[in-house]
Structure 1
């Protein structure tokens, strides 16, 4: 069993419930309406919500004669606003088992593909900030899409902050597993209900059903 200097956690799907697909889709449609596009292709909406790349975003914007930076600013703003609304309304919550990691002796951090400002909001809104020594999300820019996991850039930044030589990354997606491998650290894939039956092509170091099991993994 490896002795870890730090444990890093994904945000959505690990600490808090993931955003609803319908909510993200409506936020994207609202952004299109703001920039003058009243009717949008369903596939364009799905592509943007389901992990759009810079190249695909540019193709979609060309199809609608839009400036990608202008559209993306509107999309990110509407998306973040919809998330804050769900948190405040209580329709999206933190997972109860987050309390299990309170007494981990290792340094801890959060690394997310969500906006950095949204992660900051989450840590404050759910009183989670004392649990973590650092946190990273992406900037609300088109270029930030290139730094999303599985790119390990934000993981590497967190590891540098924590001065960690060995670490464990806890996530709920294959991109989390790949990002951890690229950062040279171990990974745990947590099979929450929304990803219980996912077939992975990348193999995590460990699998778990919840955060209680993370404590067991770290403790050996």
Structure 2
């Protein structure tokens, strides 16, 4: 029986208008990295973000990897505050469905590879934080636990005291799908930007998710 929903945040609940990863890195990320007296190019940074290289890889450059990612997250929070001020962060128009899902008695969680501060910032920006029982961003005690690792999903399951068979992950990306399946949780992909193979269910938006959840409430997942 479905008891809990675990939501990705960026590109699932909110999005960033005109955002370009490389542009962000060059304009915002690089200056914070350089304060640590190290140099990392965008392609290497991207490999660490995707999990193709461990986040601790930067230790080979002589910098503490926790300090490195805190610098990245500082730049990310500064960017988000700037983007919010300029109206560039948007909530998808269907996020009001969270209220309906909450009324159904489901436990709700939000997980993100962004920092806790960055994650809570965008949720508070659109008054969405109130819908979630737990919110987990990047964990500095285990940085390689970012999705596609199952670490954050398992952290939610433990916090909400539900089994993998009682939860459903809702996300937009391949890393969401992989993380969910590694935690033995089924996943629904919200196809805002196209279909990603491997999900258990597909919906075009959160309104369609509401119908799916209603159909799953009394069934074994």
Structure 1 length-normalised TM = 0.81
5+ long unaligned stretches in structure 2: 216-221
Q: What does residue 200 of structure 2 align with?
A: 205
1:85 to 82, 85, 90: 82
Instruction: Tell me, in whole angstroms, the C-alpha distance in 1 between the residues paired with 2:92 and 2:144.
Output: 29
1:205–1:144 distance in 2 versus 1, CA, 3 Å: same
**1:73 counterpart = 2:106:** no
2:9 to 5, 8, 11: 11
Instruction: Tell me, in whole angstroms, the C-alpha distance in 2 between the residues paired with 1:53 and 1:98.
Output: 29
Correspondence 1:1-220 to 2 at 5 A: 3-18=1-16, 20-21=20-21, 22-36=23-37, 44-49=41-46, 51=49, 53=51, 55=53, 62=60, 65-69=61-65, 70-104=67-101, 105=104, 106-139=106-139, 141=140, 144-165=142-163, 166-193=166-193, 196=194, 199-200=196-197, 203-220=198-215
Structure 1 segments, 4+ long, off by >3 Å, are 52-62, 68-73
CA offset at residue 173 of structure 1? 1.0
Instruction: Tell me, in whole angstroms, the C-alpha distance in 2 between the residues paired with 1:59 and 1:129.
Output: 33
The answer to whether the 8 A contact 2:54-2:144 is kept is no
CA offset at residue 88 of structure 1? 2.8
Aligned length, in residue pairs: 205
Coordinate RMSD, CA, aligned:
2.4
The answer to whether the 8 A contact 1:28-1:45 is kept is no
Instruction: Tell me, in whole angstroms, the C-alpha distance in 2 between the residues paired with 1:210 and 1:54.
Output: 30
1:118–1:214 distance in 2 versus 1, CA, 3 Å: same
5+ long unaligned stretches in structure 1: none
